[in-house]
Amino acid sequence: MLEIKNLVVQIEDKRILNGLNLTVNNGEIAAIMGPNGSGKSTLSYVIAGKEDYEVLDGEILLDGQNVLEMEPDERAAAGIFLAFQYPLEIPGVASMTFLKAALNAQRKARGEEELTTPDFIKRVNAAAQQLEIPKDMLKRALNVGFSGGEKKRMEILQMALLQPTFCILDETDSGLDIDALRIVSEGVNALRSPDRSFLVITHYQRLLNHIVPDTVHVMSSGRIVKSGGKELALELEANGYADYRTSEAA
Amino acid sequence: MADVTLMKTPAETALAQAYESAKAILPGNVESRAEAFELFTRSGLPHRRVEEFKYTDLRALMREAAPFAGTPTASEAKAALQSAKALAGVEALQVPFVNGHFVRDAVDFGSLPEGVEIVPLAEALASGHDWLARLSPVAWARQNPVYQLNTAFMADGVMLRVTGQVETPVHLRFVTAGNSAVATATRVLVLVEEGASVTLLESHESPNGANHQPNDVIEMVAGDRSNVRHVRLNAEGDGALALSTLTLKVGAEAEFFSINVVAGAATSRHQVFAILDGENTKARINGMTMVKGGQHADSTLVVEHAAPNCESRELFKTVIDGEATGVFQGKIIVPHHAQKTDGRMMSAAVLLSEGGTMNNKPELEIFADDVQCAHGATCGQLDEDLLFYLMARGIPRKEAESLMVQAFLGEAVEFVEHEGVHDALVSVVEGWLRARA
C-alpha cells in the first residue's frame, strides 16, 4: 500500500505539489488524470526519488516504510518502479547488461542470491516474447535508436522482470500507436495481482479502456481535486478539465 | 633577447653527470647520442613556459633524476617476469625487457613465428646494423626533449622486423623491478614491411611505491599496404614517472591502429608523432586514460598528413577521479599538397569528482584547401538524468557510475579487434572501477 500525505514539493523555488494526499491499496489500479502542468510527472519523479525536487512537507509511505529517506535504488529494491514517460537512451550499455545489473542489484539489496546467466536469459526471453520484443533489440545499447513504442515496451519488460509491488506508469500511452498500446496494456494487465498496485498517469481516457482502473483521481495545481471510480475518466473525456482549472486561477 | 643561461636543476645536473659517466659504455654511435644530449642540454627539462609542456611541467615533476638501471642478472630478470601480470593472459610472442634491458634468454630465436625477425638493439648499435639507417624516421621527434633523453641514454631494446602476415601478437613487455628508483631508456625499432600485418602489444609495469623513471621509445616504420594494430598498456606502479614516445611513419594504402591505455603511474606522458606518408592510408589513434588520486596523465599527439587522400581518426577518452589531472594535446597538420585529407580528432573527458582537472588542447594546422578536418573536445560530469534512470531500476550509484564509465570508455576500446586483448582491456577498466568503489 502506498500512502501519500500532505506532500508539498518545489523545484527551483517553484511550488509544484501543494499538499497532495493519495492512497493506493494493494492490488489497486489508480489512475491520475489532469491537465498539463498539474504536477503529475513531478509526483512520479518524487515517488521514485529524483534529486532535483525539494520536498518541503509531507510523507510517502510504502507499506509503512518512509520512502523519502531512501535513495532511488533503495526505493527500487523496496518495490517501487517508474515506467518513464521518456525512457532514456544509454549509449554503450547493452540492454541485457543493464537488465542483469538491475535485477541482480535488487536481489542483492534484498539479500537474495544473484541469478545464474541461463536462468536470467530464460526470464528475459519469456518476458520479451510476451511483449513482442525481438531478441536483437536486447543486444543493442539500451533504448538507443529504439522507436517510441519500442522504448515503452522495454519499460514494461523491465517491470515484468523486476516484479515491483508499486508501479508508476507515467504517460506510458504517449507516442504509442494502436498496436503498441495493445501490447503494452496486455503486458501491464498480465502483471496485475493482489500484491501489486499501479499508479497510471495519463491525459487520455483511451489507455484506461485497456488498463481498467479501480479508482480515478483528478489532479490540478498539485493536488488531487476529485476522486471517483472508472466512470470519472469517461466524464473527463466528455467535459475536459475546465471544471477543475478554476482552482488553478484562484 | 640575449641568451639566458639557466641554472641547472638538481635533476638536470644528475642527468649531465649520468651522461658523462655512461657515454663511454653505452653501445653504438657516440655522435648521435652526443648530439641528442647536446640538444637536450640547451633547453634542459621542459617547463610550463614551453608550449608543448605547458600542462606537464617536467622540470617541476622530475625533481630528481633516478640513476640508470644496470643490467639485471638472469635470476633477477626471471623473477621480475614471473610477477609481471599486464596482458599476461593473452597468448603472444613475448619480447621482455627488465629494467630497460632485453631479456634474450626469454626468447627462443629458433622458433620465432614466420615473418618475424628480432635483433637485440645493444648488439645492433654496437655493430652498426643495416636497419639502423631506418631509425628516427620522424624528424620533428628529434626536437622533443623526452625523445632526446631516450636517444642519449638508450642502452638496449630490440629491432623487430615483420615481413608477412603474422597472426600471433608480438608482446613487448617492459618491466621495471625493485623498490629503489631507477631510470630506463629502452628503444624499439619496428619495421613492418610492405604488405605485412601484425598485432603489436606493449605493457609497462613496475611495483607500487617505487619512483621508477622509464622513458621508452617505439619507432615504427610501416610500409605500403601494411596493417598494424598496436595496443599499449601503461600499468605502471603508483610512484612511477613514465615517459613514452611512439613515432610512426606509414606508407600508402596502409591501415594503422594504435591505442594507449593509461591505468598506472603517478605521472605519465605518452607522445605520438605520426606521419602519414603515402596516399589512401587510414590511421586511427585512440587513447583511454583512467586517473585518480594525485595522478597526472598527458597524451600528446601530432599527426601529419604528408600525403593526399589519407584518413585519420583520433579518439581520446579520459576519466578523472579524485584530484587527478588529465592532459590532451592533439594536433593534425595538413600541408599544402595533402588535398582530400579527412581528419577527425576528438577528446572527451568525464570528471567523477570535484577536484579533478582536464586540459584539452586540440589543434588543426591546415594549409591545403580541399580537406575535411574537424576536432572537438568535451569535459563534463556523468549525466545525472541517466544515473537516475539506472538507480531507479535498483542499481546503486557507484555501480551506475561504473556502467556509464564503461560505456564511455568502451567507444575507444571497441576498435581493438583481437578478442583476448579487448577483453583484457575491459578487465583493466573493471579493475580500475572496482578500486574506486
Model ipTM? 0.95
How many other β-carbons are positioned within 10 Å of the β-carbon of residue A209? 13
Q: What does the pLDDT read at residue A225?
A: 94
Q: Which residues 133-162 of A have a C-beta within 8 angstroms of B?
A: 141, 158, 162
- The Cα–Cα gap between B253 and A27 comes to 67
Task: Give domain status of residue A162, yes or no.
Answer: yes
Chain A's closest residue to B390, CA to CA, is A102
How are the residues of chain A apportioned to helix, strand and coil, as percentages rounded to the nearest 5?
A: 40, 30, 30
Q: What does the pLDDT read at residue B5?
A: 59
Chain B's closest residue to A100, CA to CA, is B395
Task: Give domain status of residue A79, yes or no.
Answer: yes
**Whether pLDDT at A244 is above 90:** no
Task: Give domain status of residue A137, yes or no.
Answer: no
**Nearest Cα residue to B305 out of B269, B342, B258, B353:** B342
Calculate the CA B368 to chain-centre distance: 29
Q: What cell does B217 get?
A: 621509445
The pTM score is 0.91
**CATH number of the domain bearing residue A235:** 3.40.50.300
Task: Give domain status of residue A189, yes or no.
Answer: yes
Mean pLDDT of chain A: 92
**What φ, ψ does residue A220 adopt, rounded to 5°?**
-150, 135
Task: Give domain status of residue A194, yes or no.
Answer: yes
Q: Which residue range(s) make up the domain with A61?
A: 2-87+146-249
Q: A43: distance to nearest CA of chain B, Å?
A: 14
- The Cα–Cα gap between B435 and A23 comes to 44
Q: What does the pLDDT read at residue B96?
A: 98
What are A237-244's contacts with CB under 8 Å, separation 24+?
A237/A204, A237/A205, A241/A34, A241/A35, A244/A34, A244/A35, A244/A218, A244/A220
CB within 8 Å of A5: residues ≥ 6 apart: A21, A58, A59, A60, A61
Query: Residues of A with CB below 8 A from B388's CB?
Result: 48-51, 72
Mean pLDDT of chain B: 95
Burial of A13 (C-beta count, 10 Å sphere; 0-12/13-18/19+): exposed
Encode pLDDT of B87-104 as tens digits. Answer: 999 999 999 999 999 999
Task: Give domain status of residue A231, yes or no.
Answer: yes
- Answer yes or no: do B389 and A92 touch at CB < 8 A: no
Q: What cell does A201 get?
A: 498517469
**Whether pLDDT at B57 is above 80:** yes
Task: Give domain status of residue A57, yes or no.
Answer: yes
- The Cα–Cα gap between B275 and A121 comes to 48
Query: Residues of A with CB below 8 A from B408's CB?
Result: 92
Best of B390, B398, B404, B415 to substitute, by most chain A Cβ atoms within 10 angstroms, is B390
Q: What number is the average pLDDT over the span B38-48?
A: 94
| Chain B touched by A90 (CB under 8 Å) | yes
Q: What number is the average pLDDT over the span B280-284?
A: 98
- Model confidence at A100, in pLDDT bands (50, 70, 90)? very high
Encode pLDDT of B254-274 as tens digits. Answer: 999 999 999 999 999 999 999
Q: Does residue B250 contact residue B277 with C-beta atoms inside 8 Å?
A: yes
Pick from B391, B404, B410: which is nearest to A72 by CB? B391
Task: Give domain status of residue A193, yes or no.
Answer: yes
| Chain B touched by A82 (CB under 8 Å) | yes
**Whether pLDDT at B109 is above 70:** yes
Q: What does the pLDDT read at residue A242?
A: 82
Q: What does the pLDDT read at residue B2?
A: 53
Q: What does the pLDDT read at residue B303?
A: 97
Encode pLDDT of B145-175 as tens digits. Answer: 999 999 999 999 999 999 999 999 999 999 9
| Measured distance between the N- and C-terminal CA atoms of chain A, rounded to whole angstroms | 33
Task: HSE, CB side, 13 Å, CA atoms: give it for residue B10.
Answer: 8
Q: What does the pLDDT read at residue A197?
A: 97
- The Cα–Cα gap between B300 and B271 comes to 5
Q: What cell does B339 get?
A: 588535398
Pick from B392, B406, B407: which is nearest to A76 by CB? B392
| Chain B touched by A96 (CB under 8 Å) | no
Q: What cell does B401 get?
A: 557510475
Q: How many residues does chain A have?
A: 250
Indicate if the alpha-carbon torsion angle B290, B64, B145, B25 is positive or negative: negative
- Answer yes or no: do B394 and A158 touch at CB < 8 A: no
- The Cα–Cα gap between A240 and A244 comes to 9
Encode pLDDT of A158-185 as tens digits. Answer: 999 999 999 999 999 888 888 889 999 9
Encode pLDDT of A118-174 as tens digits. Answer: 999 999 999 999 888 998 899 899 999 999 889 999 999 999 999 999 999 999 988
| Chain B touched by A76 (CB under 8 Å) | yes
Encode pLDDT of A47-98 as tens digits. Answer: 999 999 999 999 999 999 999 999 999 999 999 999 999 999 998 899 999 9
Report the SS3 class of residue A102. Answer: helix
**Whether pLDDT at B322 is above 50:** yes
**Whether pLDDT at B3 is above 70:** no
- Answer yes or no: do B390 and A98 touch at CB < 8 A: yes
Q: Amino acid letter at B26?
A: L
Q: Does residue A42 contact residue A15 with C-beta atoms inside 8 Å?
A: no
Pick from A73, A98, A162: which is nearest to B391 by CB? A73
Encode pLDDT of A40-52 as tens digits. Answer: 999 999 999 999 9
Pick from B386, B394, B406: which is nearest to A105 by CB? B394
Q: Does residue B278 contact residue B306 with C-beta atoms inside 8 Å?
A: no
Q: How many domains does chain A have?
A: 1
- The Cα–Cα gap between A126 and A73 comes to 25
- Model confidence at B4, in pLDDT bands (50, 70, 90)? low
Q: How far is CA A32 from CA A83, A169, B65, B353, in A?
A: 15, 10, 71, 40
- Answer yes or no: do B393 and A162 touch at CB < 8 A: yes
Helix (H) or strand (E) holding A162, with range, is helix A148-162
Q: Please provide the DSSP assignment of A183-218 as one string.
A: HHHHHHHHT-BTTBEEEEEES-SHHHHHS--SEEEE
Helix (H) or strand (E) holding B262, with range, is strand B255-262
Pick from A81, A88, A91: which is nearest to B407 by CB? A91
